[in-house]
Amino acid sequence: MRQAPEDMPGAGIPEGGQAPRVASQLQGAVENGLHEPPGRPAEPAARPHQLAIFAPNFNELSQTFVHDHVKTLAPGHTVLLSLKDEGAAQYGYPVLSHVQPEFNDWGSLGSWPRYAFYRLRRRYGPALALDNQMRVAEFLEAHGVTVMLAEFGPTGTLAGDVCQKLGIPLHVYFHGYDASSSLHHPTVRRRYRRLFPQAASIICASRYLGDRLVALGCPERLVHVVPCGVDTGRFKPGKPRRGHILAVGRLVEKKAPHLTIRAFGAIAGRFPEARLDIVGEGPLWDLCTRTIAELGLEDRVTLHGAQSHAECAALMRRAAIFAQHSVMDSEGNTEGLPVSISEAMASALPVVATRHSGIPESVREGITGLLVDEGDVDGMAAAFARLLEDPDLGVRMGDAGRARAVELLDQAHIRERLRGIMGLPAPEGLVPRNAVS
């Protein structure tokens, strides 16, 4: 069995690689003369809450929700597991990284037997290789984990067997692709159906995603719709500049930034004061650059690249309209509910977006924003024009969006809901202790 390297940050497995066992703890109590007074039955000691968060990695700039979960759900009572070791050490918590789904010792198998074994194991075997199951079990027991949150469905399938064997409640958070394009793969569908009976809850960023999983066989009673929260203190109304439109998101197919540019180009001549700022990086950067050049918008559209959370908040305070042209991509990948839309609403921006996935669940059409069909460039252009012609309408929609974000999407409210689902106390109910023993 492969052991975690001794110098792995926070690997946390006691000497000898074995986790403490309840039996050895009870034996130690007897040897030390600890017992209940005669006539009183022994009462089990309250087990302190300890949260494990399992994510593919902890270094994705766009996954602000993962960072928030790590920092705020159970501060001082959290351990981390990841497929890679990227970014996990920044939090100062115990870490078990390189939790790989495949077997890592092929022995003396030749190339063809090895390939056949791989295909059979991938199709019919457990999602997590047995040696890694043992590593994970030892780590969880060593740190007294009482509950696990798995970020993204495939990560949850890796944890299901171990959590079931250890009696640790497993909560799996689905965010987008994991309940859309992933469902096209037979192996993923089989593993999800195995996961559902193992999970204590299935948390979804939108009702749309939840419905996809229910159609696959997930019991409705397990599904909780919890959109990602937004810091309504950081993302707040500012002093918008007339005609400034902002889009924030990775430059990928499902966010279709080139279509936002084309919609802007269709009305740019009518509104000479209008400007479009796009924040994000990704594989469609070159397409966006070519589209800007094709439409002659070099002095009207700015590609800012990836920006910090603080800079995004500052750009929203200076914008007058927020744009998001989300679509289902060629592989069937969809959004859950884009966090940037929630941040825009908190910033009192009217939202122009598409009727895609969970977006209509948050953006109330005609009240907090304007929605168009996926791929409808002319419709998005008309929505831009309507708001540019009537700034007061944008202000009213922005104010309504801000009120909705504060009521339903504020991070404090979302954290409280997540803790309630997972049975975690509020941070003030936790006894502080050192993050790393």
* Residue 86 pLDDT: 82
Q: What's the confidence (pLDDT) of residue 24?
A: 38
Identify which of 100-104, 200-204, 331-335 has the greatest average pLDDT.
Answer: 200-204
CATH code linked to domain 244-409? 3.40.50.2000
| Per-residue pLDDT, 100 | 82
From the candidate CATH numbers 3.90.180.10, 3.40.50.2000, 3.90.45.10, 3.30.70.1560, the one assigned to the domain spanning 22-32+45-229+413-429: 3.40.50.2000
pLDDT of residue 70: 97
More confident residue, 430 or 317: 317
> Could you tell me the two tokens for 246?
């902002």
The model's pLDDT over 6-41, given as tens digits with 9 standing for 90+, comes to 333 333 333 334 444 433 332 333 333 333 334 444
Using CA atoms, how far apart are residues 352 and 341, in angstroms rounded to an integer?
A: 9
pLDDT tens-place string over residues 248-282: 999 999 999 999 999 999 999 999 999 999 999 99
For 80, phi and psi rounded to 5 degrees? Answer: -125, 145
HSE-up (13 A, CA, CB side) for residue 418: 34
pLDDT at 15: 36
DSSP 182-212: GGGSHHHHHHHHHHGGG-SEEEESSHHHHHH
pLDDT cut 70: percent of the chain above it = 82
Token pair in block for residue 362: 């948050």
- Mean pLDDT calculated for residue range 281-302: 98
Q: What is the mean pLDDT of the chain?
A: 86
Common-topology check for domains 22-32+45-229+413-429 and 244-409: yes
- Give the 3-state secondary structure of residue 254: helix
Give the Cα separation of 328 and 335 in Å (integer): 8
Give the pLDDT score at 96. 97
What are 188-212's pLDDT values in tens digits?
999 999 999 999 999 999 999 999 9
pLDDT at 9: 35
Q: Is the pLDDT of residue 411 over 60?
A: yes
Place of tokens 């084309």: 262
Q: Distance (Å, rounded) from C-alpha 69 to C-alpha 321?
A: 29
Q: Each residue of 59-100: pLDDT tens digit?
A: 987 888 999 999 999 999 999 999 988 889 999 999 999 998
Q: Choose the weakest-confidence range: 109-118, 340-349, 364-373.
A: 109-118
Q: Residue 62's pLDDT is what?
A: 80
Tell me the domain boundaries of the chain: 22-32+45-229+413-429, 244-409
**pLDDT (0 to 100) of residue 158:** 96
For the ranges 62-76, 121-135, 421-435, the maximum mean pLDDT occurs at 62-76
Per residue in 360-403, pLDDT tens?
Answer: 999 999 999 999 999 999 999 999 999 999 999 999 999 999 99
Residue 105 has pLDDT above 60, yes or no: no
Local structure of residue 331 (DSSP, 8 states): T
Which H or E run includes 248?
A: strand 244-248
Give the integer Cα–Cα distance in Å for 183 and 177. Answer: 9
Check residue 13 and give its pLDDT.
Answer: 38
pLDDT of residue 48: 78
